Chains A and B, each alone.
Chain A
């Protein structure tokens, strides 16, 4: 990566900045099972970074490390130029890293609006007592945050379901609401764990459009896990390829696609 310039402009005119997040020699074990073995890669400001690989390659585990749900046994996580101490997931969220989950984790009993409002929690600073009394600052804050949320609802084209309890929504819309909640945090880094899993072609196109728009309009850095190779090739600036917990490829999509190791991992090759 040192070969690449400090910042550059992509063919479609977006500016990719310096390194925002760097994973150095990460190893993660569950008991005796090694989920991730000595992986290093970085995420640059403003880029869409994809992590791909067959099932069980350790992609979700990697995302869970970035978002603080797992703490690796070895290796360092660097964020914004400083080494990050092991943090709890809610502290990571407070640093401006938002995420979605592979198996949608929404608040099923709450409305779409309330769900997305929870994404604003890290931006709401008024204290418990001012909140409880609902005076001055707390009330103003609620209105300001409500405006941000309404913009996101417009952006994701879900105005007609804003009052619907999330539990009633079909799968594709749930995925969209979950993206909305992550966006509400106005994150510096957005982590998407298989945002298009289980979607039909049309839904995939919608989601791809939203992801590109978020990146383009707000300059949000995005790291995503995806199985659909076509989608990955279209969306991402750079791709990390994982297989059995190891990194087997890293680079621009067209370069990765032609790599022999990647083709072997995806098509299967006898290892003896």
Chain B
């Protein structure tokens, strides 16, 4: 095979892997949008906050250390212990569930029956609040997150694919972290799909998404469902936070990955879990291939920044509900 083709394949595979990470973030949006019609602007910040919390717990950081120190004149920063990753993840999940309960109690409950735009505004407020709150709680310095996921290129894949090309080809370079992320995402999606299709809570969740009044009349507690959904979205955010955080460090820019999820959602549809995944893969692969084939040679590179949005715009024109979005049925 010609080397150029092999590099193209490598770009595509790496694109797919990056796409999985986009999909993880998009998934959080879809879950909340599907069940409550709210576009949760804070989903990216949730990922950041969960990753910060995870690092903080693992490292034994004292929460609000700066605040405590400046008020009481103390010098506490760390408890001096290290928590194993599994335990720390469990604690972080609890924190995210707690967050979901607070969001329901202090935001959603007061905005029932308000127009969607009001709820959207509320999530923008929530995003900025969480951003500042995360900083206050865990400090604003860049942290590294290592929960033991293997990183770096997989030698096994490199060695076993080197024969495909000529002298100058050393095999495909694929990050092991990306492979793990892909597996985790697959499990998450299959699990969530089964849950929403075949369990009573899943059915209740879809019911709430469809019609609040009707849901109430069959005995569904909206509050419980909201807490459930926001908890699941929080856990998905945590998974996204772990993957992105392990890759590029836990820092403010993590919250901006939410922006990458937007074109994924336009492509896959705001209401479809499989759509979020397929959308993520198409965007991830599309932007890498475009960069490789057209961007770098002819356009001076850096096309990855805008390619996803152009693609999403095209989709909006021809298929506004997205690839997998629920078909808009309108009887006249």
Binding site for B on A (CB under 8 A): 67, 69, 88-91, 93-94, 98-99, 101, 105-110, 114, 117-122, 124, 126, 128, 131-132, 134, 138, 141-142, 165, 167-168, 170, 181-182, 185
Contacts and interface: CB of A to CB of B under 8 A. Distances in A.
Given A108-B210, A109-B210, A109-B326, A101 B200 contact: no
A108 B211 contact: yes
Interface size class of B (residues with CB under 8 A): 20 to 34
A105 B217 contact: yes
Contacts of A134: 194, 198-199
A121 B219 contact: yes
A93 B206 contact: no
B211 A98 contact: no
A142 B218 contact: no
A110 B206 contact: yes
14 contacts: A88-B221, A89-B216, A90-B221, A93-B218, A98-B218, A107-B206, A109-B209, A117-B203, A119-B218, A131-B195, A142-B198, A167-B329, A181-B218, A185-B219
A181 to B, nearest CB: 6
A93 B219 CA distance: 5
A105 B214 contact: yes
B199 A138 contact: yes
Contact of B195 (A110, A132, A181): A132
B207 A107 contact: yes
Interface string B181-223: 0000000000000110011111110110111011111111110
A90 B219 contact: yes
Contact of B329 (A93, A117, A165): A165
B331 interface: yes
Contacts of A91: 219
Given A121-B204, A124-B200, 5 more contacts: A93-B218, A109-B210, A132-B195, A138-B199, A141-B200
Given A101-B213, A101-B214, A167-B331, A94 B219 contact: yes
B58 to A, nearest CB: 26
A69 B200 contact: no
Contacts of A126: 200
User: Which one of A94, A107, A114 has the highest number of Cβ atoms from chain B below 10 Å of its Cβ?
Assistant: A107
Given A93-B218, A121-B204, A167-B331, A110 B198 contact: no
A128 B218 contact: no
A101 B217 contact: yes
B217 A93 contact: yes
Nearest to B210: A107
User: Which one of B203, B218, B326 has the highest number of Cβ atoms from chain A below 10 Å of its Cβ?
Assistant: B218
Contact of A108 (B198, B200, B228, B329): B329
Contacts of A121: 200, 203-204, 218-220
Contacts of A99: 217
A232 B228 CA distance: 44
Contacts of B222: 90
Closest 10 CB pairs of A and B: A93-B219, A105-B214, A107-B210, A89-B216, A167-B329, A122-B219, A131-B199, A124-B200, A90-B221, A105-B213
Nearest to B208: A107
Nearest to A68: B216
B42 to A, nearest CB: 24
User: Which one of A67, A99, A118 has the highest number of Cβ atoms from chain B below 10 Å of its Cβ?
Assistant: A118
A110 B205 CA distance: 12
A165 to B, nearest CB: 7
Contacts of A69: 213, 216
B204 A89 contact: no
A118 B326 contact: no
Nearest to B198: A134
A132 B196 CA distance: 9
A83 B210 CA distance: 33
Nearest to A178: B214
B261 to A, nearest CB: 23
Nearest to A181: B218
B214 to A, nearest CB: 4
Contacts of B213: 69, 101, 105
A244 B216 CA distance: 28
Nearest to B221: A90
B266 to A, nearest CB: 20
B207 A90 contact: no
B200 A131 contact: yes
B218 A185 contact: yes
Nearest to B225: A90
B331 A107 contact: no
A110 B218 contact: no
